[in-house]
Amino acid sequence: MKRIMSRSYLVLIVALAFFGGICFLAFRVITQNTDWIQQPYNGHMAATDGLSGAGTIYDRNGVILAYNDANDKRCYHDDQTTRESLLHVVGDNSLNISTAVQSMFRTDLTGYNFALGLGLPHSLKTNRDVQLTVDSDACRAAYQALGYNKGACVVYNYKTGEVLCSTSRNSYDPANPPEITEENEHEDSYEGVYLDNVVSSAFTPGSTFKIITSASAIENIPDIYQQTFTCTGEYEVLGSKITCEYAHGTMTFEEAFAHSCNCAYAQIAIRLGDEKLKATAEELGFNHKGFTMSGIPLATSHYDATDAGDNYLAWSGIGQYHDLANPMHMAMVCSAVANGGTAASPYIIQDDGTLLNKLGIDVNKAGDVSMIDSAVAVKVQDLMRGAANYYYNGSGVNMAGLNFCAKTGTAEVGEGKQPTAWFVGYCEDEQHPYAFAAVVVEGGYGIGAAYQVANAAVSALVY
């Protein structure tokens, strides 16, 4: 009797394990079939460039960015500069740019069926067209403004989350891709060419990080608006000199932000301490690994000065030390400031052709992100508005004639290299609620290099 019971239990366990395995397989077939079609070792996909019978990709205005011709050959926009400017968004025939639409949404484009794979005849395939949120003219304008510098530019609607411009360099022509080998992959023209700098890179933020340091000061230093700071052009901390390009003299907190005074912000960072500064940075999304753009993961922005000496803490508060920032995330920070504390979650797929989209159910946008207290956000708005007025009065900077709030950044990245230039902010305009972030690697000063890129993109969207 005991033997019969033992065998019955064994049979039951095996049956349950089999049933559990079937359920797990079914779950993976339904939820993860997208991953299967995109694997480079998929022989059928490799043999056809993976885009046989693929649907058309459009920009927000109906401009065709990628399509298949009568011979089922994948083709791209007629203009080479437009093709290059949207390479990292659209992708090419390969899977090398893993975050591109033709990689991430290949299932939708090719009509892959999770039950029958690609075995259906063309007449029965449900291949779908995909419409993006980006404006191809704005992407082209920003790409041209980048010149030959590596970098990125993103502009998005800080109320809705629509990504209107996203362009990245280095790039190449998807209609005539280069042969990249181990011998030439580290050449300047090809290095990092498969990486979308908007979503997949993080750069030293320089003075754009003073937005975060300012928010932390407002949260944690009650008398910050009553304080004044004296800048002689340098501030010494533990034998290390924090330097400013100019001796700014005596300034208020607001003036220190507008002038981007390193000496003042070194003192503020030291007074805050590493714990409070890190806490505010994390409120604003630094060290957070979960941000996405239509399911495309964003590189993590990084801040941590734990147990750093005051000299390194001071540098971290002005956006140096080990600080890193992702361009799309910095645009989200500006969105949070503009929206009174909540960042719109970015998305780049307007319509993926699915029934849910046709029914008006948005499946390509994550939930918006609460970042900082609304009262703090309003005060940071004032700081960024004051900085924009300073740029306008001092250098004639404007964003397509719109009222704007902004912060420049000039990040030192190593001896013998030009600084990395940043320009981030947002437009205060009901018709054009745009948050933007532009970064130009070794571009020099933010007000000179990165501003030109952001302005080119915004101007293309406005005019």
Given a contact cutoff of 8 angstroms between Cβ atoms, the answer to whether 142 and 154 are in contact is no
What are φ and ψ of residue 355, in 5° steps? Answer: -60, -40
Q: Is residue 201 over pLDDT 60? A: yes
* Rounded Cα gap, residues 143 and 135, in angstroms: 12
Can you point out the beta strands (E) in 341-403? 342-343, 349-351, 369-370
pLDDT of residue 354: 61
pLDDT of residue 103: 93
Burial of 36 (0-12, 13-18, 19+ CB in 10 A): middle
Burial of 407 (0-12, 13-18, 19+ CB in 10 A): buried
pLDDT tens digits, one per residue of 215-231:
999 999 999 999 999 99
As a whole number, mean pLDDT of residues 88-111 equals 90
Strands 130-132 and 74-76 turn out to be unpaired
pLDDT of residue 225: 97
Given a contact cutoff of 8 angstroms between Cβ atoms, the answer to whether 348 and 163 are in contact is yes
pLDDT of residue 394: 85
Strands 228-231 and 130-132 turn out to be unpaired
Domain ranges of the chain: 43-107+121-132, 141-462
Share of the chain above pLDDT 90, in %: 70
Q: Which residue has the higher pLDDT, 3 or 453?
A: 453
What are φ and ψ of residue 66, in 5° steps? Answer: -155, 140
3-state secondary structure of 398: coil
As a whole number, mean pLDDT of residues 197-209 equals 97
Q: Is residue 45 over pLDDT 50? A: no
Q: Which residue has the higher pLDDT, 60 or 189?
A: 60
Identify the CA nearest to 331 among candidates 320, 339, 323, 319: 339
State the Cα angle at 262 between 261 and 265, rounded to 5°.
90
Sequence-separated (6 or more) residues with CB below 8 Å from residue 244: 231, 233, 234, 261, 262, 263
**pLDDT-based confidence at residue 358 (cuts at 50, 70, 90):** low
* Rounded Cα gap, residues 42 and 60, in angstroms: 32
Task: Provide the residue type at 195 as one letter.
Answer: L
**Radius of gyration of the chain from Cα atoms?**
25
Q: Just give the CATH number of 43-107+121-132.
A: 3.90.1310
Identify the CA nearest to 345 among candidates 384, 378, 385, 297: 297
Tell me the β-bridge partners of 370: 342
pLDDT of residue 40: 42
pLDDT tens digits, one per residue of 22-34:
777 666 555 554 4
Given a contact cutoff of 8 angstroms between Cβ atoms, the answer to whether 407 and 265 are in contact is no
Q: Is residue 165 over pLDDT 50? A: yes
What are φ and ψ of residue 47, in 5° steps? Answer: -70, -20
Given a contact cutoff of 8 angstroms between Cβ atoms, the answer to whether 199 and 99 are in contact is yes
Does the structural domain 141-462 have CATH classification 3.40.710.10?
yes
pLDDT of residue 1: 58
pLDDT of residue 158: 98
**pLDDT-based confidence at residue 3 (cuts at 50, 70, 90):** low
pLDDT tens digits, one per residue of 248-294:
999 999 999 999 999 999 999 999 999 999 999 999 999 999 999 99
Torsion of CA 248, 250, 255, 257, to 10 degrees: 70
Given a contact cutoff of 8 angstroms between Cβ atoms, the answer to whether 427 and 402 are in contact is yes
Q: Which residue has the higher pLDDT, 252 or 10?
A: 252
Tell me the CA distances in angstroms from 380 to 168, 214, 320, 363, 395, one per residue in order. 29, 7, 21, 32, 22
Q: Is residue 43 over pLDDT 50? A: no
Binning the chain into helix, strand and coil, the percentages to the nearest 5 are: 40, 20, 45
